[in-house]
Amino acid sequence: MSALSKLSPSITDMIRFDHSHVMVTFHQYTGTTRPSVKKALAETICDAVEIHATLEEEIFYPVMRGLAGGEPVIQKSPAEHEEIKRLIANLRATDASDFRHDGLMHELMRDIMHHVADEETVLLPEAERMLSKDRLNELGAQMTRRRLELLSPKAGKVAKNTLVGFSGSTTAIVVGLASAMMAAKFISRRHA
C-alpha cells in the first residue's frame, strides 16, 4: 500500500465530501444574488459536478459494477449523469441575469440531490460493507490523483469563481485557494 493510500480518505468519504461541497455552494445561491456571483457559484457547482462525475465513472462505478452490478442505483447512474451534464450545458449557456438561470440551477440541484440521496443511502454503504478499509483508501488515493489531473487545467478558474462566489466566506476562499495551489504544485511536479 502506498503512502498516499495510507493517508488518503476513503473513496466513500471523498464522494460524501464532494456532495457536501456542492450543497454548501448551492446554499450561497439566492434569487437576489448579483448575476456575477450567481455565475461564479454556478460555475463552481458545474466544475465540481463534472469532475465528480468523471471520478465516479472512471474509478468508483467500475468497482461497484463488479461487486453489485445488478443494483438499480448503479444501473441508473450513467443516465442520471448524462441528464446532469445536459443541465450543466444549458446552465452555462444561459446568462446569469436571465430569469431562466435560476430555474435551471434549481432543476440541476433537484437532480443532483436525488442522485446524492441514492448514492449516500444505498451505494456508499454497500461499498463500505463489501470493500476492505485498505481497498477503500486505495481507491481514495486513485481518486485524489485523478482529481488533481482533472482540476489542474481549471485551477485558476476555480480559484476565481470561489473568490467571487464566496466573497463573504473566509473558509471557502481558503479552501478554493488551497485547491488551486495544490493543483499548481501537482502540475509543476509532473513537468519537472
Residue type, position 54, single letter: T
Q: Are 85 and 53 in contact (CB under 8 A)?
A: yes
Residue numbers of the chain with a pLDDT score lower than 70? 1-7, 69, 167-192
Structure confidence at residue 77 (pLDDT) = 87
pTM of the model: 0.81
Structure confidence at residue 150 (pLDDT) = 93
Distance of CA 163 to the CA centre of its chain: 18
Structure confidence at residue 191 (pLDDT) = 47
Structure confidence at residue 101 (pLDDT) = 96
Q: Are 68 and 128 in contact (CB under 8 A)?
A: no
The tens digit of pLDDT for each residue in 129-178 reads 999 999 999 999 999 999 999 988 887 777 787 777 776 554 555 555 55
What does each C-alpha distance from 4 to 1, 38, 145, 192 come to in angstroms? 8, 36, 9, 20
Of 147, 153, 164, 152, whose CA–CA distance to 42 is shortest?
164
Q: Quote the CA–CA distance of 139 and 1 in Å, as a whole number.
A: 11
C-beta neighbour count of 103 within 10 angstroms: 12
